[in-house]
Structure 1
Amino acid sequence: MALFFDTQWFDARLAERGLSRRVMAAAAGLSEADLALAFKDQRELSATEVAAFAELLGVEAHEVARHAGVSTPVPGEGSAEARIRQLERRVAALEAELARLTAR
């Protein structure tokens, strides 16, 4: 389990980009409940989740890991197919959030 999850830091980075925790969860392939557990120090992030959050927040993976209170290693490049699936998931999450915001 994480020793210290800096909720304020993550919320500030999300706010800077106009994003929600819902988008953050979707970008990493997490449910909102799983993300909430991480925010409450009841679930540690995986290397893949650290990488997804870093990309979403525009910071380095080691910075996300540090603020998540974990020593998760930065993942390798991985296969092109895996990266494409991950990017497609992120685009779908962002499109859903955009649709929600424009429907207001």
Structure 2
Amino acid sequence: MALFFDAAWYDARLAERGLGRAILGVATGLTEAELTLAFKDQRELSMREVSAFAELLGVTPAEAASRAGVRPPPVNDAQRIAALEARVAVLEAELARLRR
């Protein structure tokens, strides 16, 4: 596990996909200031946020967590499903907001 947020690794993965840091904020609901603090290793990310980063970057949540200096908790299938349902609810709410 990395002991710090590996901003260079995240920036390289984003660049490979033609994305910028802002998309990470959009995917997780982090403000620009919160995202900046995370990249400076001054704000710890939740596993929900790290999982969203992983999905955008096409890496495993374990890899994204390691590069963010976060140790992923053990996850069973019920927890995984609950986490995915929570993320879907957030995305559906954002979609409804955008449609208004």
CA distance, structure 2, for counterparts of residue 17 and residue 56 of structure 1: 9
Q: Distance in 1 between matches of 2:66 and 2:90?
A: 23
The residue number in structure 2 matching 1:49 is 49
Please give the secondary structure, in 1, of the residue aligned with 2:3. coil
Q: Which residue of 84, 87, 93 maps to 1:83?
A: 87
Matches within 5 A, 1:3-42: 3-42=3-42
TM-score, normalised by the number of residues in structure 1: 0.74
Cα offsets for 1:43-90 (capped at 9, x unmatched) = 111010011000010100000011011113266221665232344478
Sequence identity percentage: 60
Structure 2 unaligned runs (5+)?
Answer: none
Q: Following superposition, which runs of at least 4 residues in structure 1 exceed 3 angstroms of deviation?
A: 86-92
Query: TM-score normalised to the size of structure 2?
Result: 0.77
- Aligned-pair RMSD on alpha carbons? 2.6
